[in-house]
Chain A
């Protein structure tokens, strides 16, 4: 089982993800946006990062860029449901080009989440 950092601004969704991951036996650390997650990474070394893209303060794109530059090598799963005139396809295609291991379109099932984690973990 892995240590997973969940980065999600919507509290309810963050709690739901945490519960699902803990039920699968993972250790979970959470952050409300990219800035919080970046600060946390100086203290914790997760095996995997599960991040939303559209968030206030530092969004997922900026957060993933920072991870890429740090050369930490932690695998990342990006998730998004799109927003108004920006489709989830555009957002997740962008995340894929930034080097994320896997992408999830919201809403997704527990099976989708498990599959993404399996493919992302080394």
Chain B
């Protein structure tokens, strides 16, 4: 259509002038020369307008088909994205579950940390108890030393009394009684010391056993916590990769969609070119109607003014074709470009 219009513009003379010799000049059964010229020029203007209208129809159809295709592509892109996002939500769900498990382990560790001060207090109490028992034993050791000293003195006294043998049997009995009492006290003290030591040993053993038991549990919990922290770090890396990938897809989709929308806007904007073309046609038709009104008024007189009407029409045609020529460069499709209508910004 573009080539046809260009050929037409190249081949069409700029109006058929009234002063050109007419083949029917001087004959009585042919129309007067101005009338013939008016009709000829009118036909040429109609042909030019018809060509332009055909071009408009073809371009509009091409543009509409392109818009439909691009909107369909947009729909396909959007459907693919929705399908992808729905599918990838499963991966997000699995990631979320794993993170929850790791977080639960960390919560257990946090509980342990909360309990730790109370446990340390208990351990301290056990140690204090052991220290108290040992102090008490220290006091008993002093008593034993005192008894030992007293036994030593009695032994000396007994030795002195022995020197008075024969007459001091009573005194020896008193000393013996005292020695027995001391021995009994010493026995009690020994029992107390043994009991104290047993309690201290029991306290230590109990504390150690409890500490060992708790330490084993804590070691297991720490081991779980270490594994949980490692898993959590991996999960965060995976989550980062997951959302990075998703954002890349959404970004790519939006870029494609923006490109498609720009194409659609270009096609829609092209409709303004059509509007301008129609406006040029309207201007030419209005001018022609004006010339026809002049011709009707002047037809009866057949004077020079009437004879000039073909020139007016020729001028209207020339003006119209000149205007069309100015706009041919930008708004028509180029076969070398795959027939796509080019975007023209206004």
Binding site for B on A (CB under 8 A): 54, 59, 61-62, 65, 68-69, 83-87, 90-91, 93-94, 97-99
* CB of B104 within 8 Å of the partner chain: no
Q: Are A86 and B238 in contact (CB under 8 A)?
A: yes
Which of chain B's residues 202-252 have a Cβ closer than 8 Å to chain A?
234-235, 238, 241-242, 244-246, 248-249, 251-252
The residue that B245 contacts in the complex, of A61, A84, A85, with Cβ under 8 A, is: A61
A86 engages B84 (CB within 8 Å): no
Known: A85-B235, A86-B241, A94-B245. A65 touches B94 (CB 8 A): no
Known A90-B87, A93-B84; contact A84-B238, beta-carbon cutoff 8 A: yes
Complex alpha-carbon distance, A76 and B117, angstroms: 60
- B231 CB to closest chain A CB (Å) equals 9
With the chains together, A85 CA to B253 CA distance in Å? 25
Does B98 sit within 8 A of A, measured CB to CB? Answer: yes
Whether a CB of chain A sits under 8 angstroms from the CB of B88 is yes
**Closest B-chain residue to A83, C-beta based?**
B238
A106 to chain B, nearest CB (A): 16
What CA separation (Å) do A98 and B84 show in the bound complex? 12
B94 with A85: CB separation less than 8 A: yes
In the complex, what distance in Å separates the CA atom of A97 from the CA atom of B254? 12
Q: Is B95 an interface residue (CB 8 A)?
A: yes
178-210 of chain B: CB within 8 A of chain A: none
* Chain B residues with CB below 8 A from A94, complex form: 84, 88, 245-246, 248-249
With known contacts A93-B87, A97-B80, A86–B252 Cβ distance under 8 A: no
For B, the interface residue count at a CB cutoff of 8 angstroms equals 23
Q: Is the interface of B mostly helix, strand, loop or mixed?
A: helix
Contact status B242-A86, CB under 8 Å: yes
Contact A98 to B91, CB < 8 A, known contacts A59-B241, A83-B238, A83-B241: no
Asked if B234 contacts A61 (CB within 8 A), the reply is no
**A61, A62, A69, A97, most chain B CB atoms within 10 A:** A97
**Mind listing 10 A-B residue pairs with CB under 8 Å?**
A65-B248, A85-B94, A86-B241, A91-B245, A94-B88, A94-B248, A94-B249, A97-B81, A98-B248, A99-B252
| B81 nearest CB neighbor, chain A only | A97
Tally inter-chain residue pairs, CB-CB below 8 A: 56
Tell whether, in the assembled complex, residue A98 and residue B249 are in contact, meaning their CB atoms are under 8 Å apart: yes
CB under 8 Å from chain A, chain B span 63-94: 80-81, 84, 87-88, 91, 94
Which residue on A lies nearest to B235, using beta carbons?
A85
Nearest CB of chain A from residue B237's CB, rounded to whole Å: 8
CB neighbours (8 Å) of B245 from chain A are 61, 90-91, 94
Pick the contact of B249: A62, A87, A97 (CB < 8 A). Answer: A97
Report B316 CB to chain A, min CB distance, Å.
48
Contact yes or no, B95 A85, CB < 8 A:
yes
Q: Which of B238, B241, B252 contacts A98 (CB 8 A)?
A: B252
Task: Report B-chain residues with C-beta under 8 Å of the C-beta of A65.
Answer: 248, 251-252
Q: Which residues of B contact A90 (CB under 8 A)?
A: 87-88, 91, 242, 245
Given the contacts A65-B251, A90-B91, A93-B87, A85 and B238 also touching, CB distance less than 8 Å: yes
Please give the distance in Å from A55's CB to the nearest CB on chain B.
11
Task: For the complex formed, measure the closest distance between the CB of A47 and the CB atoms of chain B, giving whole angstroms.
Answer: 23
- A14 CA to B106 CA, complexed, in Å: 39
Closest chain A CB from B251 CB (angstroms): 7
- CA–CA, A68 and B84, complex, Å: 19
Q: Is the CB of A54 within 8 A of B84?
A: no
Minimum distance in angstroms from B253 CB to a CB of chain A: 8
Distance of B230 from chain A, by nearest CB (Å): 11
